[in-house]
Structure formats: structure tokens, C-alpha cells
A and B are shown apart, each in its own frame.
Chain A
């Protein structure tokens, strides 16, 4: 840094030292004020991430002091059934959650956009779960889905003997239990985003489509939806990065159970780092999470910023 600045100073014909100092002290209050941001970026976002990636290649157990072992932690990671289950859960939950959140969010936004009455009441009802924590969400649904006293028990007591809603205790259905709770919390948010997107579409477009006799559903699918690209991309990125982080909801609703059938990568990381006493393994898993997010983020960043070139 210092070298470049000094060279630049030489380049414009100013003596090196004062040029550098003037550059450094120029705009000094702003630089001091931005120190927390600079420190956060350099120490946390860059420093900590590099640290984690580096130590994921060591055999650290209780303390991060292990020696370099190459990809050994990663080989172990993908040989561990709990990790593979976690990844598979995240992929299947993530796909279902992404599609349903976007789909229901868009559907509800379209319905809300039909000049209906009580719009703000409906919005209040749909968005309030988003204000609640995943812990609260998970615990409420855990109670509702309680096989003996929850919805299933109530329906059976009311005379519907065959009613079965034991997803929370059923390894094959537990992801759907997670999905019901997750959608409950997140669909309202997606709806608000989509509604903002729908409202940003010019009325002239609608008039033109109507004049041309295009059916409403067709206008939505072929004209309005492509015009909402920005909102859609934002929604996908936000929902996607939320899914990768999925942790609290699982802890509250199922705690990974029954058995390991609802484990997720974020929980794997925390368990290995803080209670499993196997830091290297936890760090390797965390690095895999980072890689996943990069795979989602890089195409987005390319689409958003790649084509347009640098601003100003």
C-alpha cells in the first residue's frame, strides 16, 4: 500500500514523503470514522475467513494448533454419514423451500395486488411471523405437531381415528415439518418483496396488454415476471443465503432428530467446534458452507455487476 502511494506521488512530480503523507492525512476524519468498517472488513470478513480456510487443513482437535494434513479433514467429512445426511437435507429442504417460498410469495402478492379490501390486514397477518425468531417459530410448531397432544391427537380425539400428522417424529417426513415452519416464517417476507416488485411495473404495460387482449395470467407470466427480474434475483439471493444458514429453526423444532434425520450443515459445524472437540472437522465443514454460498453468489455478482462495468 505504502509503496504504491509513494510511487504515485513520484509520478506526479511531488517529492515522495510529503506526497504520501499528504495522501494519508487527506480526508483524515473520514478515515478515522471509517476505522470500525475497515477493521471489520479486514479482520473479520477477510482475516477470519482466511484463518478458517487455513486451519481446515490442519488436524486441530481441542485447540487450533494442529499440523497441516492437506485434505484429510475433507475426506473424513464426506465419509461421515451425519455430514452427508446434513448436506442432503440442506439440498432437499433448500430446493423445496426456495421453490415454495418464491411460488407462494408470488401467488399471494398477485392476489394482494387485485385491489382487494383489507389489504393491510392481510399483510399484517402474513408478515408478523417474520418478526418472530426461529426459536419461537420452531417451538410453536413443535407443540402443534406434537403427536399425542397436538393436531394429530386432537383430530383423533374428535373421532378421526386414522388422522396422521407425526412428521416431526417420522424420519422420512421430518423435513416437511421443517418446511411448514420455515414457510410460515418466511413467506410473508417474500410476498412483501414481490408485491413491491409488482407495484413497480408501469400501469401502461397493463393497459397495453389489455388492449392487445392478452389474458391476465399470461401478462403476469410473460411480461410482468421478466420485468421483475431485479426483485426476483434479490429474493433468490436472500432466501438462498437464509437457507444455507438454517440453524436455529432446526435446533428449536427437532434438534436434528429423530436420530440424525434432520441435521443440517450449520449445526454440524457448531457441534464439532464447540461440543465435539474437533475444531479441524468443524472448520472444514464451515469452509464447505462458504463454498456453497460462493457458488450461489458468484453467478449473481456476475449478473449484477459483471455486465455493467464499474460505476463512476
Chain B
């Protein structure tokens, strides 16, 4: 518009041309290439969004509506009955308490596992960078290669170990296993992060006589907030979504939410209530989804950080 003012006398119809004359000619928005690009992206977006929509829409319908309606339709009278049933009274093969016990078990598993695994990994990364000892790099290499061993290979011996410790079939066993298998990726994360910090800080503190733990708590930790956030996102979603360790180590009364969900949907007797199933599915996915949408770019960073090798 400001350009129009500098061109007195030009008819409104050619104003745009006058603006175009400055600098390189901007490409029109709807070139064939752009149309192809956006069409493809929108098509894939529909593929990615469709299940989320179906999940939510189905969970808000009544059973007759599901039976006689279609899967695309919006619920005619959205109600949360199925959500309440999924939370409080849906039946697994064993009990009819809904998902709520599973939710609390997952909370009780996720919080300690996240804290313990992140703390261990932070200390590991710090020791591996600043306090190398003979063999530390070898242990680290085995740790990283170990993360590619299928869990099934180590599962049965771990069952024996936890049984010998007297914790098999309890929350402690699941927490222990999560702490063990979270170690490789998190240690890698913290090791790479501490390696990127200036070594002078560490050396100065060392010269001033600070020891291992003092430097860790007073210098390293305050500087590593970003990597803690990344590790937190990685662990909370990872542990919340776990199924295998929960089903093997927790024991029926401690089953995490994913296991309960699968039991509600796949081993319930009687006619399946798809609205309740979908409500239960949404509820189980809710925590990771909240973490995902709240963390935004940090989640992407966490995902990328987990993939970048040291």
C-alpha cells in the first residue's frame, strides 16, 4: 500500500504490477508444483488425523448410533458416558474397575522410573566425560550396543533375578527394569551434552578443590536444564507407552494402563462396546498426547537427540 502512494496517477488495476517491479518477481502462490506439494501433504495429514478423529468421535457416540451410523459421522448427541464407563467400570477379563487402577499404576511406575533413570544417566554421562577411568569407554560402548539387543533375549534371566530379589510381580520390578533399559539412550544423551559444555568450568572448579558430587550438583546440574527436559519427555512417553515390561514384571494387580487397555478391548466377554473401547484408548493416549502438544519443539528435539549417535 505504501508503494501506491509513491506512484501517483497509476490506476488501481496496475498497482500490483508497480509493486512487482521492485526486486525479483515473486512466484504466484498456486504454481502446479505448490499444488502438488500441498495436495500430497494434506492427503498424508488426513491419513495421520483420521484415527484421532475416529477415536474421539466414536468415544462420544452411543452404541446404537455406532451400530447404525457410519464411522465418519460426528456424534449426534455427544456424551461422555463411555468415558466414565471406560474410566470406572469397564471389564477386563478379571475385574470391572475400568482403567483407573491402571492409570494410577502407570503413574506409580512412570514417576520413579523417570526420576531414577534420568539421575543415573546424568551421573553416568558426567563421569564418562569428566572423570574417565580405565575401561569407562568400553562399558559405555557395550551399553550402547546393548541397547540394540532385543528385550526378549534378556527377559527371562531378568525374571529370575527379580524373583531372587523378591520383587517379581511388583511395581519395584517394573521400575528396576525401566531404569535398566532407559540407561543406554539417556546416558548417550547426557554424555553428548556434557561433552558440549566448556571444559574450563569443570577445570576451574577442580582447581578450587570441589569434588565429584559438588561439581555435579552445583555446576553441571544447573547448566543441564535443556537436556533434562528432553530426557523427561523421552522417558515419560516411553515408560507410559510400555507394554512388554508391564505385562511381564508387574503382576496382575499392578498392570499399567496399556496392559489394562489391551485387556479391556481384547479379552472382555460379551458384545464389544466400541464407544467404551475407544474412550479407553483415548484416555490411555491422553498423557503422551498432552506431553507431546505441550512440549512442542522439545519433543522433536528429544526424538532427534535420541537418534543422533555420539
Contacts and interface: CB of A to CB of B under 8 A. Distances in A.
A302 interface: no
Given A52-B154, A136-B261, A157-B70, A143 B139 contact: no
Contacts of B140: 37
A286 B158 CA distance: 14
A131 B45 contact: no
Contact of B187 (A31, A37, A139, A154): A37
A293 interface: yes
Contact of A108 (B41, B49, B281, B303): B41
Interface string B117-151: 00010011011100111101001101101101111
B183 interface: yes
Interface stretch (A11-19, A78-86, A265-273): A265-273
A52 B123 contact: no
B22 to A, nearest CB: 21
Interface stretch (B11-19, B199-207, B237-245): B237-245
B32 to A, nearest CB: 13
Given A33-B212, A136-B281, A241 B266 contact: no
Interface size class of A (residues with CB under 8 A): 35 or more
A188 B48 contact: yes
Interface in A187-218: 188-189, 192-193, 196
A184 B150 contact: no
A196 B304 contact: yes
A274 B248 contact: yes
Contacts of A45: 142-143, 145-146, 149, 154
Interface in B36-86: 37-38, 40-41, 44-45, 47-52, 54-55, 58, 66-67, 70-72
B48 A158 contact: no
Contacts of B212: 29-30, 33
A111 B244 contact: no
Contacts of B1: none
A116 B38 contact: yes
Contact of B51 (A36, A140, A269, A293): A140
> Which one of B44, B149, B213 has the greatest number of beta carbons of chain A within 10 Å?
B149
A274 B291 CA distance: 33
A248 interface: yes
A290 B284 CA distance: 31
A282 B156 contact: yes
> Which one of B71, B133, B284 has the greatest number of beta carbons of chain A within 10 Å?
B71
A273 B243 contact: no
Contacts of B278: 140, 143
B281 A111 contact: no
B139 A34 contact: yes
B94 interface: no
Contacts of B136: 30, 34
Contacts, number: 253
A135 B71 contact: no
B150 to A, nearest CB: 5
Interface in A17-75: 23, 26-27, 29-31, 33-34, 36-38, 40-41, 43-49, 51-52, 55, 64
Given A131-B299, A269-B152, A41 B292 contact: no
> Which one of B156, B258, B278 has the greatest number of beta carbons of chain A within 10 Å?
B156
Contact of A252 (B123, B124, B266): B266
Contacts of A52: 153-154, 156-157
Interface of B: 33, 37-38, 40-41, 44-45, 47-52, 54-55, 58, 66-67, 70-72, 120, 123-124, 126-128, 131-134, 136, 139-140, 142-143, 145-146, 148-158, 160-161, 179-180, 183, 187, 211-213, 237, 240-244, 248, 258, 261-262, 265-266, 274, 277-278, 281, 284-285, 288-289, 291-293, 296, 299-300, 303-304, 307-309
6 contacts: A41-B139, A48-B153, A136-B284, A149-B66, A193-B304, A248-B258
Interface of A: 23, 26-27, 29-31, 33-34, 36-38, 40-41, 43-49, 51-52, 55, 64, 104, 107-108, 111-112, 114, 116, 122-137, 139-144, 146, 149-151, 153-154, 157-158, 184, 188-189, 192-193, 196, 234-235, 237-238, 241, 244-245, 247-248, 251-252, 255, 266, 269-270, 273-274, 279, 282-283, 285-287, 289-290, 293, 297, 301, 304
